[in-house]
Amino acid sequence: MLTTLSQASTGKAVGEAVCTFWSDFLEWNQIEVQVFLPADQIIVSLRGMLSPAEQKMAATSEGRMRMKQIRRALINQGRNGLCEAIATATQTTVCITLTTIHVSANEERFTLVFGANEVKALAH
């Protein structure tokens, strides 16, 4: 059991790690992060405002689909770095699952789930 994941300080550390990573990696300038800590998992909900250029792209459904593809690629690229940041913050080895990306006309939201590698391995 990952007892460290239930502590409020862990939630704060995870939020800060994700926020820093996201602003560096995706160049978001406004980020809201919510962290939930159910048993053996960290669920991170992110909301970022799109840049004016991205807002233009997101004005069409094709543009929104393209942005989702780009974001998925970026997340896959940065997966190890993000997992390392979370692992450092929580002192627990984690793996990441991207559950959703929602893009609207001026913002996007992500839901990411971090679980201990052992827990995820059992789920397969």
Would you say 92 and 25 are in contact if contact means Cβ atoms under 8 Å apart?
no
Q: Is residue 40 part of a domain?
A: yes
Scanning the chain, the segments in alpha helix (DSSP H) are: 8-25, 52-57, 61-90, 117-123
Q: Residue 78 is part of a domain; what is its CATH number?
A: 3.30.980
Q: Identify how many contiguous H helices and E strands the chain contains and give both numbers.
A: 4, 4
Q: Is residue 83 part of a domain?
A: yes
Q: pTM above the 0.95 mark?
A: no
Q: Is residue 124 part of a domain?
A: no
Q: What is the pLDDT of residue 62?
A: 95
Domain, as residue range, for 80: 3-119
Q: How many domains does the chain have?
A: 1
Q: How far apart (Å, rounded) are the C-alpha atoms in residues 90 and 11?
A: 9
Cα 88 to Cα 10, 16, 47, 53: the distances in Å are 11, 12, 23, 34
Q: Is residue 29 part of a domain?
A: yes
Q: Which two tokens stand for residue 77?
A: 């690229």
The tens-digit pLDDT sequence of the chain (124 residues) is 344 444 667 777 778 877 777 777 766 666 677 888 777 778 888 888 888 888 999 999 999 999 889 888 888 887 888 888 877 777 777 787 877 888 898 888 888 887 765 433 333 3
